[in-house]
Amino acid sequence: MTYKVEMLWPTPVYFNKLQSDKNDLDIAKTFKYERMNSDNGNYTLDKNVLDKMPTLKNKIENEFEKYVRDVLHINKNVNFKIINSWINIHKKGDWSQSHLHKNSCFSGVYYLNVPEHSGNISFDKTIVLNNLSTSTISYDYDEANYINADKVKFKVEEGLVLFFPSTIYHNVDKSNSDEERYSLAFNFFADGLVGKDESVLKIGVL
């Protein structure tokens, strides 16, 4: 009998290319920015920038519907709303440490401008996502793949949008570009009825 392998409980990260609009980058450059406390990037003072970019917000929301309905098959008893959004600027030497997004269900990134060598995104496996190694045992592998890898890196480009569970740790390479890199991050939270029978919960987003 030929053996088979079933992938149990994979983590779905969604990728698609949206039609980019130069006006979005022009708008991004009009916001006020401040240096992050970690001193490895700048971000907008405004943490709801998509409210000022309604066309782009609509594109992202429509694309997100494909993720939660077609990929995750979450029923329409619950909707998801963007609860915050901000733009990051990485200059030469800037990077992003491994982090997750708190107080949200799903997170995402849209790339407004990606100069060459300005940094790609990586997703990190944690103890919560333990598949083979444990906190006390870590094996050596002859070949890294999606089953055993501790980190998976993806190349990004202008117009790319990503969606992923907010519990997933991710980081960004150091930028080696002289040109500024603009990325727009956002979070979604559930709004509506979650669960059923005795465990049903009505969630409302302000």
pLDDT at 187 over 90: yes
105-143 per-position pLDDT tens digit: 999 999 999 999 999 999 998 766 666 666 677 778 899
| Mean pLDDT taken over the chain | 92
SS3 66: helix
Tell me the mean pLDDT in the region 49-77: 96
What phi and psi, each to the nearest 5 degrees, are found at residue 96?
Answer: -130, 130
Percent of the chain with pLDDT over 90: 72
Domain range for 33: 14-194
* pLDDT number for residue 24: 97
Tell me the mean pLDDT in the region 176-186: 98
Q: Is residue 19 part of a domain?
A: yes
85-106 per-position pLDDT tens digit: 999 999 999 999 999 999 999 9
Tally of domains in the chain: 1
Please tell me the pTM assigned to this model: 0.93
Q: Is residue 203 part of a domain?
A: no
Could you say which DSSP state residue 40 is in? Answer: S
C-alpha 32/C-alpha 49 separation (Å) is 11
First to last CA, the chain: 56
CATH number of the domain to which 101 belongs: 2.60.120.620
Q: Is residue 80 part of a domain?
A: yes
* pLDDT number for residue 140: 84
C-alpha 161/C-alpha 7 separation (Å) is 25
Q: Is residue 199 part of a domain?
A: no
* pLDDT number for residue 54: 97
Tell me the mean pLDDT in the region 144-172: 93
* C-alpha separations of 54 from 59, 93, 149 in Å: 9, 32, 38
Q: Is residue 111 part of a domain?
A: yes
Dihedral sign, Cα of residue 84, residue 55, residue 183, residue 104? positive
Q: Is residue 9 part of a domain?
A: no
SS3 19: coil
* C-alpha separations of 81 from 57, 167, 171 in Å: 11, 17, 24
Q: Is residue 38 part of a domain?
A: yes
Q: Is residue 202 part of a domain?
A: no
